[in-house]
Structure 1
Amino acid sequence: MTKTRAVEFKEAVLPNGLSVIAEVNPEARSVALGYFCKTGSRDETPEMAGVSHFLEHMLFKGSERRGALEVNLEFDRMGAQYNAFTSEENTVYYGAVLPEFALELLELWTDLMRPALRLEDFETEKQVILEEIALYEDRPQVMLFDRGRARYFRGHPLGNSVLGTRQSIGGLVREQMVAYHAQRYVPSNLVLALAGRVDWERVLERVEALTAAWPQGEAPRGYPEPSPATGELREPYPKATQAYIAVFAPGVSAQDPRRYAAQVLASILGEEGNSRLHWALTDKGLVESVGAGVDEADRAGMFYVYAQTAPQNEERVRDILRFELERFEREGVRQEELERAKNKLATALAFAGETPMRRLMSVGLGYTYNRTYEPVDEVARRIAGLTLREVNALLEEKPFSRSFFYTLAPA
């Protein structure tokens, strides 16, 4: 019988302040790694709205050592699967390769963390971002959340648009981006995470040498108390041919131990195929799509519901949503619903644990928010151990009684 070697968690803080973590799985057939920068639209000023996302694009234009073509060729030569994304709170650069290319991928991403930000690339990419904004403006289902979050958070940084606006991007100059990068991409505000078949000692030695000259500093984040909106707001949208409805309600933060109970609640409420909203709306042919979820943010959070429906069904769908949310709070969750939701989450967790790339996201984001590591079996244990009382305790706080309904409808 072959003995399976155990998965291990490793962590270290380099002298410059960079946190390096790894979930080492000797049985894995690949390595995933990425830089998690704790910066996003919530860290931007109005005049620099969208700079985090713009900067993400600019990293792929290269460093002082590499141009955009060289960057692309190196990723391709390694056979890397790679990408990046920017959210309200984080900018993440990640990739996965065969183990023999791990140090080369590490060197490439580390070099790109110090981009050249060439003026000609800046001006070219600015047009790309403006085109991207125009593209999303043609998609009401995207603008529903972009606008809805802004209305719900009422000036709080969590309502800032990730893309920014035509005005903010159009007015942005290279020097502002250079200053933003210098302020936010300091080692203490970054986490280098790895998952899979990782040679921990070699990685640690290499990244320490590669980042030794990085300027140090602090990148504090403001935490004003949210004061979210309640009630309803309906706005006409010229690009809309259907009605797009979002419901926002107070939730739990990424640091809150109740986040697993919140995930179960969202699944029971709006899981595709078998949930309360599915049977109330989809099964009756009243919506094209409906769902629910949780947004666990840094020291804040929200539940959300969305629905897309024909204009003639708009009012009826909103009425049913109100009724179902009120009933959800009044009646609570049933034991059989809880067990089904826990099983679904356990299955999803098992799938997510099968590849280093999927584990990278869980390990990296979890550590960025909480500075702790949760192995798959520990998360599974927590979900399996959830009780009806724990889940219903969230509903007893009446989050959906403080909902904000936002609708984009045909003009």
Structure 2
Amino acid sequence: MVTKHICQNGVRILVEKLPYVRSVSMGIWVNVGSGNERPEENGITHFIEHMLFKGTYSRTAKEIAESFDRIGGQLNAFTSKENTCYYAVTLDHHAIEAITILADMFFHSKFAETDIEKERHVIFEEMAMVEDTPDDDVDERLWSVMYPNHSMGAPILGTEETLTSFTKDKIETYMDENYTPDRVVISVAGNVSDQLVNKIITLFDQFTNTTHQTKKIVTIPKFVHGQTNKESNTEQSHLALGYEGLTVKDSDLVSLLVVNNILGDTTSSRLFQKVREEKALAYSIFSYYSAYENAGAFMIYGGTSPDKLTVLEETILQITEQLVNDGASEIEIQYAKEQLESNLILGLETSNDFMNRNAKNELIFGEEKSVEQTLQELYAVDEKSVNRVIRNLLTKPFAKSVIQPAKGI
């Protein structure tokens, strides 16, 4: 059971006590991501995520790292298109120390100019790493084609041009505008003590950044069925197809999960069986989806040798066309639902799983959504809803991203 405490300043604190574990997972979630950035800000949300680890007025970056190593804890963060999360996982008796350090990072980071310059180069290397990972790069480029005129299509890491422009003043201005109490959720799960909850309330009651509060930038992105091609120093050709998907609150989203499972998310899926097992066209072939507040995408990825790229694409399209024409069978839907049920339940084995799930439910729905509720939605999926999603999804024009070996290589 999740209990929610709302501080006077608007910060929401979610607590799920799991007395059968010895761990505590705690996350500071901010309801802002790269999809909320202005063009000139592209990458600043992710840059701030990095900078919060670079030292506070009372702790150096090394001391922060040593503190968590000393207690055997994990400290990390991530930026998505809609949220930023700073989280830690520790043994229960170290949880108060961990949240104290997290709060210090959140409220008192220095943003020293020397650290900003160093971290800029670290992220340049992170960008290079993405480019050296073609299955990541082809996906990133696909988003830029699907949503070319919106921040949802821009890279989370930003560009070299925007990254070069970030200064201490820009960082602090962006945080004043976006890191406001009403957008912050503290999610804690595990063997949580009352002392820890009281400590969190004390730490985050001090959050008074409301004078600069501005309305979160929310514009509806328009899907475009374009194409991007890139030559790179790779051995394989990489193909990603993108269809306009569903938003996270769409009533058909659970049916989309079933479609994804049937088409390409498992080793028994149609794509895997036909492309890899029967035709041996690819080692890696799968489908996947992303659902956000105002946008979504359903994607198919495959990597193959350059001389088989055309055949690979043709085979993928034959499979999707057959799925549209024939529909998914009752037995396929039954198997998919059973596997999704298993994935959901097995995906809640750790305190960190509960922490993440509870925060996402709060940020998306504004309330707890129990496992039983989710399972009831899954059980309600039937042939009619699945085949409606298939027709609505796979009969529309798609976007395409291709990375191929450079000529002569």
Q: TM-score per shorter chain, which class? A: over 0.9
**Corresponding residue number in structure 2 for 1:265:** 259
**Maintained 8 Å contact 2:22/2:91:** yes
In percent, how many aligned pairs have the same letter? 26
**Which string of whole-angstrom CA distances, capped at 9 and with x for unpartnered residues, describes residues 319-360 of structure 1?**
111221222222221111111111111121121111111121
**Corresponding residue number in structure 1 for 2:250:** 256
The one of 162, 168, 173 aligned to 1:174: 168
**Corresponding residue number in structure 2 for 1:320:** 315
**Maintained 8 Å contact 1:62/1:71:** yes
Q: Structure 2: which amino acid aligns with 1:44?
A: E
- 1:194 aligns to 2:188 (yes or no): yes
Distance in 1, Cα, partners of 2:191 & 2:272: 41
**Corresponding residue number in structure 1 for 2:381:** 386
Q: Structure 1: which amino acid aligns with 2:359?
A: G
**Corresponding residue number in structure 2 for 1:105:** 98
Distance in 2, Cα, partners of 1:20 & 1:400: 43
**Corresponding residue number in structure 1 for 2:45:** 52
**Corresponding residue number in structure 2 for 1:4:** none
**Maintained 8 Å contact 2:243/2:394:** yes
**Maintained 8 Å contact 1:188/1:216:** no
Q: Superposition RMSD on alpha carbons, in Å?
A: 1.7
TM-score if structure 2 supplies the norm length? 0.93
Say which SS state the counterpart of residue 20 (structure 1) adopts: strand
Uncovered stretches (5+) of structure 2, i.e. residues with no partner: none
Q: Structure 1: which amino acid aligns with 2:378?
A: I
1:126-141 equivalence runs, <5 A: 126-141=120-135
Distance in 2, Cα, partners of 1:308 & 1:219: 44
Q: Structure 1: which amino acid aligns with 2:207?
A: W
Extract structure 1 runs of 4+ deviating beyond 4 A: none
Distance in 2, Cα, partners of 1:219 & 1:245: 40
The one of 207, 211, 221 aligned to 1:214: 207
Say which SS state the counterpart of residue 13 (structure 2) adopts: strand
Shift of 1:378: 2.8
**Maintained 8 Å contact 1:35/1:192:** yes
Shift of 1:86: 1.0
Q: Structure 2: which amino acid aligns with 1:278?
A: F
**Corresponding residue number in structure 1 for 2:405:** 410
Shift of 1:193: 0.4
The one of 10, 16, 31 aligned to 1:17: 10
**Maintained 8 Å contact 1:236/1:409:** yes
**Maintained 8 Å contact 1:329/1:395:** yes
**Corresponding residue number in structure 2 for 1:376:** 371
Shift of 1:398: 4.1
The one of 291, 296, 321 aligned to 2:286: 291
**Maintained 8 Å contact 1:136/1:142:** yes
The one of 347, 352, 355 aligned to 2:350: 355
Distance in 2, Cα, partners of 1:286 & 1:243: 11
Say which SS state the counterpart of residue 186 (structure 2) adopts: strand
Shift of 1:70: 1.4
Shift of 1:174: 2.1
Q: Cα–Cα, structure 1 residues 103 and 219, in superposed 2: closer, same or farther, change >3 Å?
A: farther
How many pairs does the alignment contain?
A: 402
Q: Structure 1: which amino acid aligns with 2:117?
A: E
Shift of 1:32: 0.8
Say which SS state the counterpart of residue 396 (structure 2) adopts: helix
**Corresponding residue number in structure 2 for 1:26:** 19
**Which string of whole-angstrom CA distances, capped at 9 and with x for unpartnered residues, describes residues 1-21 of structure 1?**
xxxxxxx21012101111111
